[in-house]
Structure 1
Amino acid sequence: MKKQLTEPHARDFMQANVVTIRSDMDLNEAARVLLNKGVSNAPVVKEEDGKSKLVGFLSERDCLQFLSNEIYYNIPAKSVATMMKIHPVCVKPDTDIFTLASVFLQHGFRHLPVCEDGYLCGIVSRRDVLRSLMEVCNESETLQELQKNRPDMSKLVNHRFIVI
Structure 2
Amino acid sequence: MRVKDIMSSPVHTVRQTASVESAAELMGARSVTALPVVDEAGVLVGMVSESDLLWHRVPEDPTAHLRPRPDLDPQHRPGMVVEVMSPYPLTTRPDTDVADVAEAMLENDVRSLPVLDDTALVGIVSRRDILRAMVRSDEVLVREVQHRLDEYADGRQRWKATVQGGIARVHGSFDDETERSVVTVLARTVPGVAGAEVGATEP
- TM-score past 0.5 threshold: yes
Runs (5+) with no aligned partner, structure 2 = 61-73, 150-160, 163-168, 176-203
Q: 1:131 maps to which residue?
A: 132
Higher share in helix: 1
The question of 1:67 aligning with 2:90 is answered: no
CA, structure 1 residues 59+152, in 2 after alignment: closer, same or farther (shift >3 Å)? closer
Bigger RCO of structures 1 and 2 (CA < 8 A, at least 6 apart): 1
Q: 2:123 maps to which residue?
A: 122
User: 1:99-134: CA deviations, max 9, x gaps?
Assistant: 112112222211111112232110001121122224
Partners of 2:7 and 2:120 lie apart in 1 by 15
Give the structure-2-normalised TM-score.
0.59
Partners of 1:53 and 1:43 lie apart in 2 by 10
Partners of 1:127 and 1:83 lie apart in 2 by 24
Partners of 1:25 and 1:118 lie apart in 2 by 22
Partners of 1:115 and 1:152 lie apart in 2 by 40
User: 1:27-48: CA deviations, max 9, x gaps?
Assistant: 1121121122221110011242
**Residue 39 of structure 1 aligns to which amino acid in structure 2?**
V
Structure with bigger gyration radius: 1
**Residue 12 of structure 2 aligns to which amino acid in structure 1?**
V
- 1:55 alignment partner, SS class: strand
Percent of pairs with identical residues: 32
- 2:101 alignment partner, SS class: helix
- TM-superposed CA distance for 1:147, in Å, is 2.2
Structure 1 consecutive aligned stretches of length 4 or more whose deviation exceeds 6 Å = none
CA, structure 1 residues 22+69, in 2 after alignment: closer, same or farther (shift >3 Å)? farther
Partners of 1:117 and 1:69 lie apart in 2 by 42
Q: 2:81 maps to which residue?
A: 80
Q: 1:21 maps to which residue?
A: 14
The question of 1:34 aligning with 2:24 is answered: no
Answer whether contact 1:24 1:79 (CA < 8 A) is retained: yes
Q: 2:94 maps to which residue?
A: 93
**Residue 15 of structure 1 aligns to which amino acid in structure 2?**
S
Partners of 1:60 and 1:115 lie apart in 2 by 22
The question of 1:58 aligning with 2:48 is answered: yes
Partners of 1:118 and 1:69 lie apart in 2 by 39
Q: 2:107 maps to which residue?
A: 106
- Number of matched residues? 139
- TM-superposed CA distance for 1:152, in Å, is 7.5
Runs (5+) with no aligned partner, structure 1 = 1-7, 154-164
Q: 2:3 maps to which residue?
A: 10
The question of 1:147 aligning with 2:170 is answered: yes
RMSD: 2.7
Answer whether contact 1:13 1:132 (CA < 8 A) is retained: yes
